[in-house]
Amino acid sequence: MITLILYNSQGYISYALADDTRIVHTTSLYSPKNSTEIYMPHIEHACSTRGISPCAIGRILCTVGPTSFTATRLILSTALGIALPRSLPIASLTTLHSLALNAPIETDSLWIVLQAQKHAFYTQCFHARYNQNSLEIHSANEITLNTYENLCTMLSSSPHTYLIADEYVHELYSKNPLPSCTLLPLHYAIPSPFALYGYSQKAHYSTDVPEACYIRTTDAEQNIMDIAQKLGYSPQEIHDIYSKNIAET
């Protein structure tokens, strides 16, 4: 049986194909503007070149955010488009959990920090503990939105912490290091297909539809005025259109 693994982070959309013993193919695409058009054909081409029939895919593991809204929707729609017609089981995990799987050491304080907006970050703490020579990852709290300043305050009273963070956080850290923290190299902020494969072997699969993990609201309402004005609409026209749509609903 083939497991299809769909995931993204750091501007990449990625996938892997694995059988019961190993990964047979993996590819990462740097989120091109036409990613919605090429993601599924890319997977189909990989199956063809590896001699894998699409019918051999027996289950799917996918990340569900929080990350780019577009990437989250793309991964979930791809997973559901493949799974629903054949009632294939799906397992899911958050993007932050997928990065926590990269933990290189046993610790009770592994923080994942990813930029959500200009001054806001998705944050979550994980425990990484050995069980029969294998590191098992468990979340210690829920995903929350924090500023960098809040994060500094939270970690100032914590024991030694390991930090997996994206490029923007690395830039902030170089100017204002977090207390009692070891910032792991940037490549830890990219999901490992091998770590995800290990997770896929123990994950719980279900035919229930997985829910996207959206922690913050979309920027669309904040940006709608600027977008509309760039399209040539006046503020009054935007107000009239919006009011009409509200009245009709």
The sign of the CA dihedral 17, 21, 22, 25 is negative
Per the prediction, the chain carries an average pLDDT of 88
Q: Which has more pLDDT, 217 or 136?
A: 136
CATH of domain 2-96+191-200: 3.30.420.40
Q: Which has more pLDDT, 241 or 141?
A: 141
As a whole number, mean pLDDT of residues 120-136 equals 91
Q: Given this model, what pLDDT does residue 238 score?
A: 67
What does the pLDDT look like over 30-48, one tens digit per residue?
876 778 788 999 999 999 9
Q: Given this model, what pLDDT does residue 219 score?
A: 58
As a whole number, mean pLDDT of residues 160-173 equals 93
Query: Around 12, how many Cα atoms within 13 Å sit in the side-chain half-sphere?
Result: 17
The sign of the CA dihedral 228, 229, 230, 231 is positive
Q: For the chain, how far is it from start to end, CA to CA, in angstroms?
A: 47
Q: Is the pLDDT of residue 91 over 90?
A: yes
β-bridge pairing 57-63 and 2-9? parallel
Q: Given this model, what pLDDT does residue 221 score?
A: 55
**Closest CA relative to residue 113, chosen from 68, 163, 69:** 163
As a whole number, mean pLDDT of residues 106-134 equals 91
What does the pLDDT look like over 176-234, one tens digit per residue?
888 789 999 999 999 999 999 999 999 999 999 999 998 876 555 556 667 677 777 77
**Closest CA relative to residue 128, chosen from 111, 152, 107:** 107
What does the pLDDT look like over 5-24, one tens digit per residue?
999 877 788 999 999 999 99
Q: Which has more pLDDT, 31 or 113?
A: 113
Domain ranges of the chain: 2-96+191-200, 102-189
- Is the fold of 2-96+191-200 the same as that of 102-189? yes
Q: Given this model, what pLDDT does residue 237 score?
A: 75
Q: What is the DSSP letter of 211?
A: P
For domain 102-189, give the fold: Nucleotidyltransferase; domain 5 (3.30.420)
Calpha distance 21→168 (Å, rounded): 36
As a whole number, mean pLDDT of residues 118-125 equals 91
Calpha distance 143→238 (Å, rounded): 35
Calpha distance 184→101 (Å, rounded): 13
**Closest CA relative to residue 60, chosen from 38, 37, 40, 45:** 40
Calpha distance 109→215 (Å, rounded): 22
As a whole number, mean pLDDT of residues 138-144 equals 94
Q: Which has more pLDDT, 132 or 57?
A: 57
Q: Given this model, what pLDDT does residue 180 score?
A: 83
